[in-house]
């Protein structure tokens, strides 16, 4: 007698439905047709997903409220699912499907809010204050003393495309970690040029930001980590974390500088200091390129 058996079927675990607050930078990816993704990195407060798409941001951070609110993040008000690097996921059709979690955005925030007009005198006074706080901080940039960073500062101050782009291309992907120091410096610079330049009416600074953004994002995916490449694309559009945006507001006189800079400097091993260095280079360039009304020169 032959005994027949039924094939075993895998029982799918029920998905947990959840909502979160998402960066508006993610709309093109979240609202496009569903695409496969994979887990790039997983930490207690954040999971990074690489979406198989040409769209940017092509890396999405699913984070808890305790994590840094990156410009490519969806903030979940609950615990993250248990996943491992390499696990499959999907993004699109309005949701992030990750492990047993189905996450949808219920509200959006702007990762690049405009500063509004800035008093040129107030902005000029911010540079020595920023420089002094950075110089006294024990949190040092990862590429301190690097020649390319010095060349970048000089090129930006003179609006020299050749020198600025040459230095920027040397910095892309330079340094260890998920976000190499060179990329963090460039991200801080791009955001500062775009926001402070627009706020102060320094059109040459915004023009420089456009050229540098095109140069550093052109082949970023092949020259640095996926996470850092996405953050460079975000910075090219003026999108930044809450800590960076707070320092920009402080430089514009909207809030106190010291506590905002302190929070930024605490990020990562050197990421906060690297971002602050980029902001410092960008602020100096805005003042140099904005003409006498911005107090250019002499710093």
Examine the pLDDT at 126 and tell me if it is beyond 60. Answer: yes
| Phi, then psi, of 126 in degrees rounded to 5 | -75, -30
pLDDT of residue 234: 98
Instruction: Write out pLDDT tens, residues 91-102.
Output: 999 999 999 999
Q: For the stretch 59-68, what's the b/e string if a residue is b when 16 or more beta carbons lie within 10 angstroms of its beta carbon?
A: bbbbbbeebb
184 has pLDDT over 50: yes
CA–CA gap between residue 181 and residue 163 (Å, rounded): 19
Let me know: does 74 contact 27? Beta carbons within 8 Å. Answer: no
> For residue 38, how many other CB atoms are within 10 A of its CB?
16
Average pLDDT, the chain: 91
What is the Cα–Cα distance from 94 to 96, expressed in whole angstroms? Answer: 7
Report the alpha-carbon distance of residue 135 to residue 221 in Å, rounded.
Answer: 33
User: Residue 31: which of 93, 110, 91, 73 has the closest Cα?
Assistant: 93
Q: Are 91 and 105 in contact (CB under 8 A)?
A: no
Would you state the pLDDT for residue 224? 96
Which one-letter DSSP state was computed for residue 221? H
Give every CB contact of residue 208 below 8 A, 6+ residues apart in sequence. 156, 159, 161, 164, 193, 197, 285, 289
Q: Is the pLDDT of residue 271 over 90?
A: yes
118-137 average pLDDT score: 95
**Average pLDDT of the residues in 19-38:** 96
Percent of all residues in the chain with a pLDDT value above 90, rounded to a whole number? 86
Q: How many other C-beta atoms lie within 10 A of the C-beta of residue 293?
A: 13
pLDDT of residue 177: 82
DSSP state of 297: S
Q: 235-268: per-residue pLDDT in tens?
A: 999 999 999 999 999 999 999 999 999 999 999 9
pLDDT tens, 162-175? 999 999 999 999 99
Query: What number of CA atoms fall less than 13 Å from residue 29's CA on the CB side?
Result: 29
Does 1 score more than 70 pLDDT?
Answer: no
What whole-number distance in Å separates Cα of residue 173 and Cα of residue 184? 9
Look up the CATH number of domain 16-109: 2.40.50
Bridge partners, residue 75, by sequence: 21, 63
At residue 151's C-alpha, the angle toward residues 145 and 157, to 5°, is 120
Report d(CA 160, CA 179) in Å as an integer.
26
Convert the pLDDT of each residue in 185-197 to its tens digit.
999 999 999 999 9
* Structural domain spans, the chain: 16-109, 120-294
The yes-or-no verdict on residue 3 having pLDDT over 60 is: no
* H or E element that contains 130: helix 120-136
Higher pLDDT, 135 or 13: 135
pLDDT at residue number 221: 92
Q: How many CB atoms lie within 10 A of CB 84?
A: 8
pLDDT tens column, 199-217: 999 999 999 999 999 999 9
Q: What is the pLDDT of residues 60-97, one digit of tens each?
A: 999 999 999 999 999 998 889 999 999 999 999 999 99
pLDDT (0 to 100) of residue 13: 60
- Residue 294 confidence (pLDDT): 54
Residue 182 to residue 175: CA distance in whole angstroms: 6
Q: CA-based angle 135:71:109, to the nearest 5?
A: 120
What integer pLDDT is reported at residue 10 of this predicted model?
Answer: 41
> How high is the pLDDT of residue 7?
41
Output the pTM of the full model: 0.91
Range 122-147 average pLDDT: 95
With a CB cutoff of 8 Å and minimum separation 6, the contacts of 33 are 92, 93
């Amino acid at each position: 007698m032959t005994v027949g058996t039924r094939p075993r079927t895998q029982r799918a675990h029920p998905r947990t439905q959840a909502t979160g607050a998402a960066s508006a930078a993610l709309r093109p990816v979240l609202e496009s047709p569903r695409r496969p993704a994979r887990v790039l990195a997983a930490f207690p407060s954040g999971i990074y997903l690489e979406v198989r798409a040409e769209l940017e941001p092509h890396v999405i951070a699913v984070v808890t409220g305790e994590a840094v609110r990156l410009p490519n993040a969806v903030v979940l008000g609950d615990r993250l699912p248990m996943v491992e690097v390499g696990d499959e996921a999907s993004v699109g059709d309005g949701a992030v499907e990750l492990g047993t979690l189905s996450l949808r955005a219920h509200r959006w925030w702007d990762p690049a809010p405009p500063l509004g007009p800035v008093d040129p005198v107030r902005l000029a006074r911010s540079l020595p204050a920023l420089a002094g706080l950075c110089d006294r901080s024990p949190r040092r940039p990862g590429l301190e003393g690097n020649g390319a960073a010095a060349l970048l500062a000089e090129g930006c101050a003179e609006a020299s495309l050749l020198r600025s782009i040459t230095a920027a291309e040397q910095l892309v992907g330079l340094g260890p970690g998920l976000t190499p120091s060179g990329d963090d410096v460039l991200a801080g610079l791009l955001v500062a040029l775009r926001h402070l330049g627009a706020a102060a009416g320094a059109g040459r600074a915004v023009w420089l930001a456009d050229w540098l953004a095109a140069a550093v994002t052109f082949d970023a995916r092949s020259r640095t980590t996926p996470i850092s490449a996405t953050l460079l694309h975000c910075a090219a559009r003026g999108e930044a974390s809450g800590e960076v945006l707070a320092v920009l507001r402080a430089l514009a006189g909207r809030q106190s500088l010291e506590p905002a800079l302190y929070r930024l400097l605490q990020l990562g091993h050197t990421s906060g200091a690297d971002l602050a260095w980029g902001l410092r280079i960008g602020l100096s360039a805005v003042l140099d390129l904005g003409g006498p009304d911005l107090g250019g020169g002499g710093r």
